[in-house]
Copies of this chain bind each other. A is one copy, B any other.
Amino acid sequence: MTEFQKKYDALRAAFEQTLSDRLGALSFKPSVLDESFRYSLQLGGKRLRPVLMFAAAQMLGGRIADVAPLAVALEMIHTYSLIHDDLPAMDDDDFRRGQPSSHKKFGEGQAILAGDALLNYAYQICFEECKKGRTYLNAALLIAKNAGALGMVAGQAADLFWQGQEGAGEREYEFIAQNKTAKMFMSAAAAPAYVYGADENTAAILLEYGKNLGLLFQITDDLLDVGGDFAKLGKTVGKDEREKKVSAVRIYGIGYCETKADHYCELCCKLLSDLPYECGFLEELTRTVRSRER
């Protein structure tokens, strides 16, 4: 196991502990809501966004604990989006991380509500932590903007709008990838800078880094949809083509996607090197996203 992998696992484990502590203190009624709320959060996954947030906090000289509640909130928002995305009226996927998706397990109505509950709770955490005196306001605003109609939801709406339609090209793909995927990475990467009140330049570079890491993530996601396999991904593959989704592979072709992925990867590393911090871990994280699951 490499030093990078050890550190990634440690950050992920720290996140799992934080999440588990918080969930342990919660109890919702009715029991179906309690179960559906926990189920999707605890399916695990790489926890890439929380790990990114923790790593950015450490890079800036801070501690995991400084941003841990924000990381939980962001992961709740990410999880709500997956639950709603998997619904038959959206991306219609029966599996998530190798397990039945929320609506297959709890029914569509309860899945919609599980997503709604996670979204509300994510913001409840932000308000609670602000009340405790944490300097979370700017970061929470960043997260809310990037999650909603000026961010992720806009990307999802465009993605859904163009699915199966003719005429979507590079511009539409870029809009979808930037909003649906990259804005959540921007929140993860830059939130710690907002929490610490870092200078504007640092925040701007972390936002730009997050954006390009998100674009890299999306393009490798699209490549995996044609080249990946279910056992590794835990979700259905080959859907983009079957359902005529706006995917990088359909717009650019596999070869140019690989080139673009390399470009985003290098751009990320360049941005990190512009920061006056030790960025070795984030650089390796970037390269791992580039070469993931294959």
Q: What is A's interface to B at a CB cutoff of 8 Å?
A: 28-30, 32-33, 36-37, 80-81, 84, 87, 89-90, 103, 107-113, 115-117, 119-121, 123-124, 126-128, 130-131, 137-138, 140-141, 144-145, 147-150, 153-154, 156-158, 160-161, 175
For A84, A117, A120, A148, the residue with the greatest tally of chain B CB atoms inside 10 Å of its CB is A120
Residues on B with beta carbons closer than 8 Å to the beta carbon of A161 = 30, 32, 110
Separation of A161 and B130 alpha carbons in the complex (Å): 34
The 6 closest A-B pairs by CB, nearest first: A120-B148, A89-B108, A117-B149, A127-B141, A33-B157, A124-B144
Number of copies: 2
Residues on B with beta carbons closer than 8 Å to the beta carbon of A144 = 120-121, 123-124, 127
Residues on B with beta carbons closer than 8 Å to the beta carbon of A175 = 29-30
Separation of A28 and B116 alpha carbons in the complex (Å): 21
Residues on B with beta carbons closer than 8 Å to the beta carbon of A119 = 116, 119-120, 148
By DSSP majority rule, is chain A's interface helix, strand, loop, or mixed? helix
Residues on B with beta carbons closer than 8 Å to the beta carbon of A156 = 113, 116
User: In the bound complex, do residue B84 and residue A107 qualify as a contact, i.e. CB atoms below 8 Å apart?
Assistant: no
User: In the bound complex, do residue A148 and residue B116 qualify as a contact, i.e. CB atoms below 8 Å apart?
Assistant: yes
What are 13 sample pairs from A and B whose C-beta atoms fall under 8 A apart? A30-B158, A33-B157, A80-B116, A89-B107, A89-B111, A110-B160, A110-B161, A113-B153, A116-B153, A123-B126, A124-B141, A128-B141, A130-B137
Q: Which residue of B is nearest A125, CB measured? A: B144
Q: How far is the CB of A153 from chain B (nearest CB, A)?
A: 5
Q: Which residue of B is nearest A124, CB measured? A: B144
Separation of A116 and B84 alpha carbons in the complex (Å): 9
User: In the bound complex, do residue B117 and residue A148 qualify as a contact, i.e. CB atoms below 8 Å apart?
Assistant: yes
User: In the bound complex, do residue A109 and residue B160 qualify as a contact, i.e. CB atoms below 8 Å apart?
Assistant: yes
User: In the bound complex, do residue A137 and residue B131 qualify as a contact, i.e. CB atoms below 8 Å apart?
Assistant: yes
A110 with B157, Cβ < 8 A, contacts A130-B137, A149-B117 known: yes
Residues on B with beta carbons closer than 8 Å to the beta carbon of A150 = 28
User: In the bound complex, do residue A148 and residue B124 qualify as a contact, i.e. CB atoms below 8 Å apart?
Assistant: yes
User: In the bound complex, do residue B160 and residue A148 qualify as a contact, i.e. CB atoms below 8 Å apart?
Assistant: no
Residues on B with beta carbons closer than 8 Å to the beta carbon of A90 = 109, 112-113
A149 with B123, Cβ < 8 A, contacts A29-B154, A108-B89, A157-B113 known: no
User: In the bound complex, do residue B109 and residue A30 qualify as a contact, i.e. CB atoms below 8 Å apart?
Assistant: no
Q: Which residue of B is nearest A138, CB measured? A: B131
Separation of A253 and B121 alpha carbons in the complex (Å): 36
User: In the bound complex, do residue B112 and residue A89 qualify as a contact, i.e. CB atoms below 8 Å apart?
Assistant: yes
User: In the bound complex, do residue B112 and residue A124 qualify as a contact, i.e. CB atoms below 8 Å apart?
Assistant: no
Separation of A109 and B128 alpha carbons in the complex (Å): 32
Residues on B with beta carbons closer than 8 Å to the beta carbon of A120 = 119, 144, 147-149, 153
Q: Which residue of B is nearest A136, CB measured? A: B127
User: In the bound complex, do residue A140 and residue B127 qualify as a contact, i.e. CB atoms below 8 Å apart?
Assistant: yes
